[in-house]
Amino acid sequence: MRRAAALLVILLCCAVLYVQGASLWLDEASVALNLRERTLPGLWTEQLSYGQVFPRAWLSCVWLLRAALGTEDPRVLRLLPFLAMVGGVAAWLALGRRVLKDSATPLLLLAALLASPSVLRYAAELKQYAFDVLCVAVGLHAVWALTRDPPRRRLWAVILVLAVGTSHLAWLPCGALWLAIALRGRPDRTAALALGGGGLLLLLTDVLGQLGHTGKMVSYWAPWMVPAWPPDEAMAAFFTGQGAQLLGYSLGPRMLARGGVDPGLGMGLVFGAVLLGVVLQRRTLSPQDARGDWLLAWLLTVAASTAASMTGLLPLGQRVTLGLFPMLLMGPLILLDRRLESLAPARRIWLRRALGALATIYLVVCVGTVARRGVREDLHPRLPHLVGLDWLVVDHCSTRQWALLTRPAPPGLQVHVMGTPTEAPPQLDQARTRGGYVVTHQAGQCAPHQEQVRQQLGGAGRVELTYTGLDAALWTVSIPP
Judge whether residue 480 has pLDDT over 60.
yes
Kindly state the percentage of the chain with pLDDT values over 90.
37
Q: Give the pLDDT of residue 442.
A: 65
Convert the chain into a string of H (helix), E (strand) and C (coil).
CHHHHHHHHHHHHHHHHHCCCCCCCHHHHHHHHHHHHCCHHHHHHCCCCCCCCCCHHHHHHHHHHHHHHCCCCHHHHCHHHHHHHHHHHHHHHHHHHHHCCCCHHHHHHHHHHHCCHHHHHHCCCCCCHHHHHHHHHHHHHHHHHHCCCCCCHHHHHHHHHHHHHCCCCCHHHHHHHHHHHHHCCCCCHHHHHHHHHHHHHHHHHHHHHHHHHHHHHHHHHHHHCCCCCCHHHHHHHHHHHHHHHHHHHHHCHHHHHHCCCCHHHHHHHHHHHHHHHHHHHHCCCCCCCHHHHHHHHHHHHHHHHHHHHHCCCCCCCCCCCHHHHHHHHHHHHHHHHHHHHHCCHHHHHHHHHHHHHHHHHHHHHHHHHHHHHCCCCCCHHHHHHCCCCCEEEECHHHHHHHHCCCCCCCCCCEEEECCCCCCCCCCCCCCCCCEEEEEEECCCCHHHHHHHHHHHHHCCCEEEEEEECCCEEEEEEECCC
- pLDDT band at residue 160 using 50, 70 and 90 as cut-offs: very high
Judge whether residue 167 has pLDDT over 90.
yes
Q: Give the pLDDT of residue 137.
A: 97
Q: Give the pLDDT of residue 29.
A: 86
pTM: 0.89
- pLDDT band at residue 24 using 50, 70 and 90 as cut-offs: confident
Judge whether residue 254 has pLDDT over 70.
no
Judge whether residue 92 has pLDDT over 70.
yes
Residue closest to 180 by CA, chosen among 90, 322, 303: 303
Higher confidence at residue 431 or residue 73?
73
Q: Give the pLDDT of residue 378.
A: 61
Question: Averaging pLDDT over each range in 180-189, 366-375, 392-401, which range is the top one?
Answer: 180-189
Judge whether residue 462 has pLDDT over 90.
no
Range in 87-96, 236-245, 348-357, 446-455 the model is least confident about: 446-455
Q: Give the pLDDT of residue 260.
A: 46
Q: Give the pLDDT of residue 253.
A: 58
Range in 150-164, 202-216, 324-338, 344-358 the model is least confident about: 202-216
Longest dimension (CA), the chain: 84
Range in 67-71, 190-194, 415-419, 423-427 the model is least confident about: 423-427
299-344 pLDDT, tens digit each: 999 999 999 999 888 888 888 999 999 999 999 999 999 888 888 8
Contacts 24+ apart (CB under 8 A), 155-162: 156/194, 157/190, 157/191, 157/193, 157/194, 158/194, 160/191, 160/194, 160/195, 160/198, 161/194, 161/197, 161/198, 161/201, 162/198
Mean pLDDT of 343-350: 87
Judge whether residue 257 has pLDDT over 60.
no
232-243 pLDDT, tens digit each: 888 988 998 898
Q: Give the pLDDT of residue 259.
A: 46
Judge whether residue 201 has pLDDT over 50.
yes
Judge whether residue 42 has pLDDT over 80.
yes
Range in 31-40, 76-85, 279-288, 371-380 the model is least confident about: 371-380
Q: Give the pLDDT of residue 76.
A: 93
Higher confidence at residue 229 or residue 18?
18
Mean pLDDT of 341-353: 88
**Mean pLDDT value across the chain:** 84
